[in-house]
Amino acid sequence: MEAVITPASALAVTPGEPASALWERVAEKLKARHGEAVYRSWLRGLECKHIEGGKAVLTAPTRFMREWVAAHYGADIRAALQELRSDILAIDILVRQADAPAAAPCAPSLAVSTSPAADAALLAVPEADLAALAMSAPLDPRCTFEHFVVGKPNELAHAAARRVAESPAVVPGCNPLFLYGGVGLGKTHLMHAIAWHIRAHGGGRRVIYLSAEKFMYQFIKALRSRESLAFKETFRSVDVLMIDDVQFISGKDSTQEEFFHTFNALVDQNKQLVISGDRSPSDLEGIEERVRSRLGWGLVADIHATTYELRLGILHSKIEQMRGIHIPQKVVEFLAHKITSNVRELEGALNRVVAHATLVGRAITIETAQEVLMDLLRAHDKRVTVEDIQKKVAEHYHIKVSDMHSARRSRSVARPRQVAMFLAKRLTTRSLPDIGRRFGGKDHTTVIHAVKKVEELISQDAEFASEVELLERMMRA
């Protein structure tokens, strides 16, 4: 929206520093506190119109922005202003109007202040919006598209999520969008990213994001307090409904029932649904057949286990966000090689290494990383041995364990052997030469070749990818 140009005389600018200059300084503080992404999404659009009678009057470009900013950053904005100008006691956020002076008296005001009178102004916000906002779980400011690193394993899920986020209406063939994959692979991140995007650019489309667990909790609460009608209304009045971790409602019959009806009502009204789960709709256990089949109606996009390249990309992106932290490339590669379970653990490992280095004030090396992550690396190691892997993989492909050690090159034996080497690299902390030795004294370059080959196949062949993933999950279980 265009900024409003109000004649200067109409603004009661406090003598001394103009409101806009003061606001610039406040904006810097907010940016430092909340980070670039939050600032750009929510705070950059604010303007400070004037300061009068202890109150700073700000304007936001849309109604939704005003509510969101007031609810999430209001207290902070007031505090930041107060730090610079102690006479500011409250802030008022108005919606900027294109064709009227910004502070027109008719503009509904949403005040953020400690006085009860100001709190009453909250009532000026349409109730349905507030109800939707209240149902929605908070969104992690770090989980935006900008911060999501795309690679082969999550390419499809990411592209679909973006489509849904950017489309002004329901995306044909993508309703519902069902995202699934193992823990810590980015399902929740993508859902938050969709919600952030729509809230910032969706032109007032109403979004509810919550976990299936919270959905159930809200539903039961509504039943108990005899407010199930209001509950239904809230959920059925949204434009985009996102339910995370749907597997949680397995075995919960009445919640499934309500979910099913909400789902149908929204699809009938052409509203967008985004659902996530830990497995594909058809594999969800304890969920009624009719619910499962509805879940699989639209686009089902799976997020595969990470590849080495993706892990490297994610590490680089996270390190960049840490600003000013230097980690030698060797250490980054070490982490990407060793922490293969999921992105959450990878992040955790990185944070630990950085925290340690900052605390003791020493440079980060592979040795210190190894030391700091000893338990994690050991756990990975302990969980599974090369021998276990060989046994399980041989069983799966109906070959003999001794074939793992042989030099036979026929595809029926060589491919399973490569898969086993790949898994040995991923799931144990053994070095490449060590793995080679355990496969009948092969060279480490053979292992490298196997890992590359399997990664290549995973990225090209979805069926093969899920087969390997299944093997990996079995091994970890």
Contact footprint for ligand ADP (CB under 6 A) = 143, 147-149, 154, 181, 183-189, 314, 343-344, 347
Query: What gap in Å lies between CA 123 and CA 404, rounded to an integer?
Result: 70
How far apart, in Å, do the first and last CA atoms of the chain sit?
A: 53
In angstroms, what CA-CA distances link 42 with 28, 76, 227, 382, 464? Answer: 14, 13, 33, 46, 43
Q: Which amino acid is at 14?
A: T
CB of 317 to ligand ADP, least distance (A): 6
CB of 183 to ligand ADP, least distance (A): 4
CB of 371 to ligand ADP, least distance (A): 24
Q: Which does 343 bind (CB under 5 to 8 A by kind): Mg ion, ligand ADP, none?
A: ligand ADP
E-only strand ranges, 197-298: 207-211, 240-244, 272-277
Place of tokens 């952030």: 196
Q: Which is nearer to ligand ADP, 125 or 346 (CB)?
A: 346
**Burial profile 144-167: b = 16 or more Cβ within 10 angstroms, e = fewer:** bbebbbebbbbebbbebbbebbeb
Determine contact, residues 188/275, Cβ cutoff 8 Å.
no
CB of 36 to ligand ADP, least distance (A): 16
Q: Which is nearer to ligand ADP, 111 or 339 (CB)?
A: 339
CB of 81 to ligand ADP, least distance (A): 32
Q: Which is nearer to ligand ADP, 85 or 163 (CB)?
A: 163
**Burial profile 316-352: b = 16 or more Cβ within 10 angstroms, e = fewer:** eebeeeeeeeebeeebbebbbbbbbbbbebbeebbee
CB of 321 to ligand ADP, least distance (A): 10
Q: Which does 148 bind (CB under 5 to 8 A by kind): Mg ion, ligand ADP, none?
A: ligand ADP
Where on the chain is the footprint of Mg ion (CB under 5 A)? 187-188
Query: What gap in Å lies between CA 167 and CA 148, rounded to an integer?
Result: 19
Q: Which does 154 bind (CB under 5 to 8 A by kind): ligand ADP, Mg ion, none?
A: ligand ADP
CB of 217 to ligand ADP, least distance (A): 19
Q: Which is nearer to ligand ADP, 148 or 231 (CB)?
A: 148
Determine contact, residues 409/366, Cβ cutoff 8 Å.
no
User: If we measure between CA atoms, which residue out of 31, 33, 2, 38 comes closest to residue 200?
Assistant: 38
Q: Which is nearer to ligand ADP, 314 or 331 (CB)?
A: 314
Q: Which does 427 bind (CB under 5 to 8 A by kind): Mg ion, ligand ADP, none?
A: none
Tally the residues of the chain: 477
Q: Which does 314 bind (CB under 5 to 8 A by kind): Mg ion, ligand ADP, none?
A: ligand ADP
Q: Which is nearer to Mg ion, 175 or 188 (CB)?
A: 188
Angle at 331 (CA atoms; ends 325, 333), nearest 5 degrees: 115
Q: Which is nearer to Mg ion, 67 or 244 (CB)?
A: 244
Q: Which is nearer to ligand ADP, 186 or 202 (CB)?
A: 186
Determine contact, residues 308/210, Cβ cutoff 8 Å.
no
Q: Which does 234 bind (CB under 5 to 8 A by kind): ligand ADP, Mg ion, none?
A: none
CB of 273 to ligand ADP, least distance (A): 17
Query: What gap in Å lies between CA 343 and CA 336, rounded to an integer?
Result: 10
Q: Which does 185 bind (CB under 5 to 8 A by kind): ligand ADP, Mg ion, none?
A: ligand ADP
Instruction: Using CB positions, name the residue nearest to Mg ion.
Output: 188
